[in-house]
Structure formats: C-alpha cells, structure tokens
C-alpha cells in the first residue's frame, strides 16, 4: 500500500514520523524517506553470495531488485517468533531504494523538530544508528538514522572522500576568502564534508550541529553587521544546510533566513531527501540551490557559483 501522507506547509519545522514496532520496541523514521509499505507475506527473497550479514537478500518489486535489510540483526535486537503479518517498508533516499521488515506500522505522527531530543555525545558515539528520540503519546520513540545504517551496509551511498581526486584539481580563486556556515546534525557527514571543502580551499567554514544553533549564529552575525554599519557579505557569504535536523530543520532555517530576516545570503541545501517533491519545497522556502548526498562534486560547483559571487 502507498503511504498515507499528512500535508504539511513547507518550512514550518514540522515532520511526519512513521512509528513502527520491531522486536517489541518503538522506532521512528521520517516519512519523506518512505516510498511505500507492502505485506511481507508472499515476498520471495533471493539470497546473494558475499552479501553483507545484515542483508537478507533481494526481492523483485515491479521489475526492480530491492535489497532487503535485516534491521533487527543490524540493530542487534533480540526478537521472538516472527509475526506472519509483518510489513516491508520500502525506502528511497541517497538515490537508492532499499527495504526492511517491521513487525507492524503503528501510525504516522506530525511532530515538530523542536520536540526531538538528540543523544548526548557519549551515547551518540556508541549508537550511531539512532539520531535521537521524541515523546509520542506518552512513550519514547527512537528515531533511526537510516542514512548511517544503509551507509554501513552499502558504503558507496555515503559521502566518499578521494583526496587525490580533489587535490589534483587547481583551487579556484577566492575560495579561501568565502565565509560559509554549515548546518548538519550527523557527526560523520560534518567531518567528511568539512574535510572535502577545506581541502579545495573553503577554509572559513563554520559548523553547527542543528538548524537552531545555525539560526542563532546568523542572527548574531546580522546584528554585528548592523552594529558596525557593514555589509552582511563581509561576515557571511553562504549557508549550507541539511534538511533533517533536531531543534530546527533546514527548510525552516532557510525560510527564516529569507522571509523573516529578509537576508539575501545564498542558501544551498545538501540532503539525502532531494527528489522532485523536495526540490519544490526547497524552492518554496527560497533556497538558491539543492543537491543530493553524496554528490560532493556538484556541491563544490554550487558553492563556487553562489558563495564566490557574494
């Protein structure tokens, strides 16, 4: 069955979370990453030689082979006897379609990113498959980091860094002068993107762990520019942001920058969720450009186009 979507106004800092049960625990996933739900019964899974331990195999869905992930095995959960009424959740992000099995889908909730509680640093270091939690109907739902999970299984889907490839290219003039603010909640992606951007010359890169922290930093920069009677471009040339982030998401951040603060600073969205529908949302909140992870070469092209011209 196709997922039932809740219509949300773009940039309101709200998100649709699909809550599902697995081995007696409640987990949540951003609905934007889910393509559809299908019954597990009747699916024929073909095992592949040399597959990752967390991959059950592949199955055909409308003529396309889809990898089926044993999410319970990857999360090291202890499950009882499998329910014959289990459901397959088909996801699509990072330009890849994958699927996993859940005991059942509870319901889809509308929540605000401000309600999300990130894991503390100690827990986050040892629980990379979970980005945080949110309280729904008086119980805690763990929000899975599907990007990281799929990246652990299929490394080609994450941002790869080929140092030789980037170093061999001549650095573009003015990159070292460009002041870029980067908002991204994933520590792994922050580290990789910063390494890439700094290696090609974007040395003045300031990083924040969520949209709220980035928003407060931009407010401070705006105030400094006004106090000193200077142009904002002396302090900030571009904002680079993910979409999914606790406290404030990237679309809400862009909307506040453009429509509430009235700033003309370029905003580039860098997210695994980029598709035709999300591109429309990026345009609605005023983003200058967007690109999907892990398209790092395209990201650098966009930074050159928008940051250096400002």
Is 53 in the same domain as 111?
A: yes
**Contact yes or no for 44/56 (Cβ under 8 A):** no
Q: Are strands 64-69 and 96-102 parallel, antiparallel or unpaired?
A: parallel
Is 146 in the same domain as 63?
A: yes
What's the rounded Cα separation, in Å, for the pair 242 and 234?
24
Please state the pTM of the whole predicted model: 0.84
Residues 6+ apart with CB under 8 A from 225: 231, 232, 234, 235
Q: Coil, helix or strand for 129?
A: coil
Digit-by-digit pLDDT tens for the chain (310 residues) are: 444 443 456 788 999 999 999 998 999 999 999 999 999 988 999 998 888 999 999 999 999 999 999 999 999 998 877 667 899 999 998 888 999 999 999 999 999 999 998 776 655 556 678 888 999 888 999 999 898 898 888 887 776 656 666 555 556 878 999 999 999 988 878 888 999 999 999 999 999 999 999 999 999 999 999 999 999 999 999 999 999 998 999 999 999 999 999 999 999 999 999 988 899 999 999 999 999 987 888 999 999 999 998 6
Is 163 in the same domain as 301?
A: yes
What's the rounded Cα separation, in Å, for the pair 190 and 8?
28
Is 55 in the same domain as 180?
A: no
Residue 6 has a pLDDT of: 39
Any idea what the CATH number is for the domain that residue 82 is in? 2.40.50.180
What's the rounded Cα separation, in Å, for the pair 77 and 245?
26
Is 88 in the same domain as 163?
A: no
Domain that holds residue 106: 14-156
- Domain boundary residue, one of 156, 184, 214: 156
| Phi, psi torsion values for 14, nearest 5 degrees | -105, 155
Residue 138 has a pLDDT of: 86
What's the rounded Cα separation, in Å, for the pair 303 and 83?
49
How many Cα atoms sit within 13 Å of 199 on the Cβ side?
Answer: 17
Secondary structure of 224-250 as H, E, C letters: HHHHCCCCHHHCCCEEEECCCCCCCCH
Is 50 in the same domain as 131?
A: yes
Is 272 in the same domain as 190?
A: yes
- Domain boundary residue, one of 156, 178, 212: 156
What's the rounded Cα separation, in Å, for the pair 35 and 18?
12
What's the rounded Cα separation, in Å, for the pair 150 and 93?
10
Domain count, the chain: 2
| Phi, psi torsion values for 232, nearest 5 degrees | -60, -30
Secondary structure of 159-190 as H, E, C letters: CCCCHHHHHCCCCCCCHHHCEEEEECCCHHHH
Any idea what the CATH number is for the domain that residue 234 is in? 3.40.50.2300
Q: Around Cβ 114, how many Cβ atoms within 10 Å? A: 14
82 found inside a domain: yes
Tokens of 139: 């119980």
120 found inside a domain: yes
118 found inside a domain: yes
What's the rounded Cα separation, in Å, for the pair 52 and 44?
19
Q: What are the residues facing 289 on neighbouring strands?
A: 268
What's the rounded Cα separation, in Å, for the pair 94 and 91?
10
Tell me whether residue 229 is exposed, middle or buried, using C-beta atoms within 10 angstroms of its C-beta: 0 to 12, 13 to 18, 19 or more. exposed
Residue 4 has a pLDDT of: 43
3 found inside a domain: no
What's the rounded Cα separation, in Å, for the pair 131 and 129?
7
């Amino acid at each position: 069955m196709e997922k039932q979507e809740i219509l949300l106004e773009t940039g309101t800092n709200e998100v649709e979370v699909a809550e599902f049960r697995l081995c007696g625990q409640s987990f949540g996933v951003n609905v934007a990453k889910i393509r559809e739900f299908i019954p597990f019964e009747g699916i024929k899974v073909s095992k592949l030689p040399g597959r990752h331990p967390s991959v059950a195999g592949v199955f055909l869905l409308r003529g396309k082979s889809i990898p089926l992930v044993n999410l319970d095995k990857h999360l090291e959960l202890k499950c009882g006897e499998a329910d014959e009424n289990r459901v397959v959740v088909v996801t699509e992000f990072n330009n890849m379609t994958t699927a996993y099995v859940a005991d059942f889908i509870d319901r889809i909730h509308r929540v605000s990113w401000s309600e999300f509680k990130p894991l503390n640093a100690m827990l986050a270091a040892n629980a990379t498959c979970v980005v945080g939690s949110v309280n729904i109907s008086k119980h805690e739902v763990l929000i899975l980091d599907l990007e990281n999970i799929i990246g652990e299984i299929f490394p080609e889907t994450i941002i790869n860094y080929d140092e030789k490839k980037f170093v061999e290219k001549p650095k573009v003039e003015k990159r070292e002068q460009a002041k870029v603010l980067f908002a991204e909640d994933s520590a792994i992606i922050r580290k990789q993107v910063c390494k890439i951007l700094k290696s090609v010359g974007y040395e003045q890169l300031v990083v924040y762990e969520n949209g709220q922290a980035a928003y407060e930093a931009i407010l401070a920069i705006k105030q400094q520019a006004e106090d000193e009677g200077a142009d904002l471009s002396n302090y900030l040339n571009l904002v680079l942001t993910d979409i999914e982030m606790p406290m404030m998401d990237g679309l809400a951040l862009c909307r506040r920058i453009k429509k509430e603060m009235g700033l003309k600073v370029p905003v580039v969205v860098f997210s695994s969720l980029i598709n035709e529908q999300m591109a429309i949302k990026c345009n609605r909140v005023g983003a200058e450009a967007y690109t999907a992870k892990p398209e790092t070469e395209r990201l650098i092209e966009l930074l050159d186009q928008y940051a250096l011209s400002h």
